[in-house]
């Protein structure tokens, strides 16, 4: 029987990998500009790490975690999100005592949730996110949203909608929860089983319900903004003011409560519909938290962060025709007989050392089929090694784009390849060989 991948997981290869790498590299660069450093918590954590932070009332902990007993009878969980692991790591290593606060961390990697797979929803997916921990200013909330916004616009996604809300402080939330309990008391029997559960454990979660019938009931529920303490109200208004000053547009969404229990005060989501009209749900989400660090035994510090779902971003780039292409080897070395394979392996090594991505056809075979192979692999040049070339210390360089070929002395190969593959003509910078001389005879690449 054929063995298939596990339901809800995704095989990544080809262009999709190129896009993941592209996203990871742009996002990391922007994070570094904002003075964030990478952190890598393990995939496996003690189950308690997530139960304590994400919360027993959350869907993630109640039914979505990949939890198992290891051979030593420990309950372990494959991370369903990063924040808990990052905070555990900062507390355990006492980084709050040795690092300048706030600690600014970015991360990237797979997370695991046992959810019902559908468009943009997997059981193993990749998140890229940040945490800013130990800062004591509401400007960090705004700066984190700004960072998310900068990341999205730098990959060409600037028509993003930022939904924002506040969950207030403890006092605001307790007042609001009891108002919700009063409101749903005589309605909950007609709502879905999940909502019945949420009513008992955390009525805020009901606002997040996706069942159509339930949403009608949720529409008229009391609003958080009417239960905010004065301090939380002021704080939220100030965060919005900073965003206004940065000309970042947002929509206040009263029903935005987020699925993880640790949030307080500012919460937000990034939404975007692809040009093909696909709505992948939130492409990123996050918020502020006050208790998480102390829950792990650390000092009383607050934090703010977000994470993006990379699969959803890659799908949007694909739909919008903005995906990047895989980088194929530029050069294919074609030894015509097996006895020239040792020359080929030497030559390809020196090409690679000089920065040319290079492939070799060690299977030899007929010239025409070797060339076809190189063309199929998208190489720009084929370097052909045959008996004549070995005898005369030359090599045939065949341009696979315009099909011209030339015999080149091995001693001249390096400068020949440079002029063919690396010599670009810049409008602003004078090119290095001719300094803008129109009569320059070197090949000038049109790309620049
Ligand atoms: P969360 O940790 O739930 O706040 O999710 C953060 C981001 O991860 C979301 O905005 C999505 O982009 C992405 N995400 C969450 N769950 C999934 C999933 N099951 N499959 C793919 N992406 C997801």
pLDDT tens digits, 98-116: 999 999 999 999 999 999 9
At residue 426, does pLDDT exceed 80?
no
pLDDT tens-digit map of 286-305: 999 999 999 999 999 999 99
Give, for ligand 1, the residue of 118, 125, 162, 260 to mutate: max count of ligand atoms closer than 8 Å to Cβ.
125
For residues 334 and 370, is the Cβ–Cβ distance under 8 A?
A: yes
At residue 446, does pLDDT exceed 60?
no
Q: So what's the pLDDT on residue 433?
A: 53
Number of CB atoms found within 10 A of residue 217's CB:
18
Q: So what's the pLDDT on residue 322?
A: 86
* Position 321 confidence tier, pLDDT thresholds 50, 70, 90: confident
Q: So what's the pLDDT on residue 274?
A: 82
pLDDT tens-digit map of 228-277: 999 999 999 999 999 999 999 999 998 898 877 889 999 999 999 888 88
The dihedral over CA atoms of 48, 49, 50, 53, expressed in degrees to the nearest 10, equals 110
The closest-lying atom of ligand 1 relative to the alpha carbon of residue 307 is 6
Supply the residue whose CA is at minimum distance from atom 16 of ligand 1. Answer: 121
Give, for ligand 1, the residue of 283, 285, 314, 315 to mutate: max count of ligand atoms closer than 8 Å to Cβ.
285
Give, for ligand 1, the residue of 312, 313, 314 to mutate: max count of ligand atoms closer than 8 Å to Cβ.
312
CA distance 425 to 448: 6
Range of weakest confidence among 185-199, 262-276, 392-406, 418-432: 418-432
Residue 4, CA distances (Å) to 9, 64, 110, 250 in order: 10, 22, 20, 43
- Tell me the CA–centroid distance for residue 150 and ligand 1, in Å: 19
Query: Within 13 Å of residue 333, how many CA atoms lie on the same side as its CB?
Result: 24
Number of CB atoms found within 10 A of residue 162's CB:
19
* Position 37 confidence tier, pLDDT thresholds 50, 70, 90: very high
Q: Buried b / exposed e across 97-135, counting CB within 10 Å, b at 16+?
A: eebeebbbbbbbbebbbebeeeebbbbbbbbbbbbbbbb
Q: In what order do the strands lie in the sheet with 358-360?
A: 358-360, 331-335, 381-385, 394-399, 405-409
Give the closest residue to 104 by CA, choosing from 175, 172, 176, 30.
Answer: 30
Range of weakest confidence among 57-61, 123-127, 258-262: 258-262
Residues with CB under 6 A from ligand 1: 81, 113, 115, 120-122, 125, 127, 259, 282-285, 307-309, 311-312
52 vs 260, more confident:
52
At residue 397, does pLDDT exceed 50?
yes
For residues 171 and 227, is the Cβ–Cβ distance under 8 A?
A: no
* Position 432 confidence tier, pLDDT thresholds 50, 70, 90: low
Q: In the chain, what percentage of residues exceed pLDDT 90?
A: 78
CA distance 403 to 397: 10
Supply the residue whose CA is at minimum distance from atom 1 of ligand 1. Answer: 285
The closest-lying atom of ligand 1 relative to the alpha carbon of residue 282 is 10
Q: Counting beta carbons within 10 angstroms of the beta carbon of residue 320, is it exposed (0 to 12), middle (13 to 18) or buried (19 or more)? A: middle
SS3 353: helix
* Position 424 confidence tier, pLDDT thresholds 50, 70, 90: low
């Amino acid at each position: 029987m054929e063995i298939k991948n596990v339901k809800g997981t995704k095989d990544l290869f080809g262009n999709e990998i190129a896009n993941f790498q592209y996203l990871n590299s742009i996002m990391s660069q922007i994070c570094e500009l904002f003075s964030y450093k990478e952190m890598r918590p393990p995939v496996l954590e003690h189950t308690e790490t997530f139960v304590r932070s994400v919360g027993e009332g959350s869907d993630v902990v109640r039914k979505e975690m990949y939890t198992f007993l290891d051979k030593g009878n420990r309950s372990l969980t494959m991370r369903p999100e990063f924040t808990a692991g990052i905070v555990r790591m900062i507390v355990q290593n006492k980084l709050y005592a040795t690092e300048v606060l706030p600690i600014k961390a970015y991360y990237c990697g797979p997370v695991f949730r046992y959810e019902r797979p559908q468009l943009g929803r997997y059981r193993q997916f990749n998140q890229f996110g940040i945490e800013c921990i130990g800062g004591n200013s509401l400007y960090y909330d705004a700066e984190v949203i700004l960072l998310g916004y900068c990341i999205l616009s730098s990959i060409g996604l600037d028509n993003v909608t930022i939904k924002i809300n506040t969950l207030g402080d403890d006092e605001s939330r307790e007042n609001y929860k009891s108002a919700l309990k009063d409101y749903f008391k005589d309605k909950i029997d007609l709502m879905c089983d999940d909502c019945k559960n949420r009513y008992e454990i955390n009525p805020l979660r009901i606002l997040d319900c996706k069942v159509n019938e339930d949403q009608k009931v949720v529409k008229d529920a009391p609003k958080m903004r009417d239960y905010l303490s004065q301090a939380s109200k002021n704080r939220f208004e100030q965060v919005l003011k900073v965003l206004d000053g940065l000309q970042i547009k947002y929509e206040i969404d009263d029903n935005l409560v987020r699925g993880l229990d640790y949030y307080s005060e500012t919460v937000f989501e990034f939404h975007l519909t692809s040009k093909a009209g696909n709505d992948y749900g939130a492409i990123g989400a996050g918020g502020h938290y006050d208790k998480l660090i102390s829950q792990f035994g650390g000092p009383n510090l607050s934090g703010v962060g977000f994470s993006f779902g990379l699969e959803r971003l890659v799908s949007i780039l694909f739909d919008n025709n903005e995906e990047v292409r895989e980088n194929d080897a530029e050069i294919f070395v074609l030894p015509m007989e097996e006895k020239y394979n040792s020359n080929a392996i030497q030559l390809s090594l020196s090409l690679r050392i000089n920065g040319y991505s290079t492939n070799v056809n060690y299977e030899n075979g007929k010239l025409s089929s070797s060339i076809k192979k190189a063309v199929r692999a998208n190489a720009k040049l084929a370097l052909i090694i045959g008996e004549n070339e070995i005898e005369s210390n030359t090599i045939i360089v065949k341009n696979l784009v315009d099909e011209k070929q030339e015999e080149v002395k091995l001693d001249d190969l390096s400068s020949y390849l440079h002029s063919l593959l690396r010599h670009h003509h810049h409008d602003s910078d004078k090119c290095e060989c001719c300094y803008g001389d129109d009569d320059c005879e070197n090949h000038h690449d049109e790309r620049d």
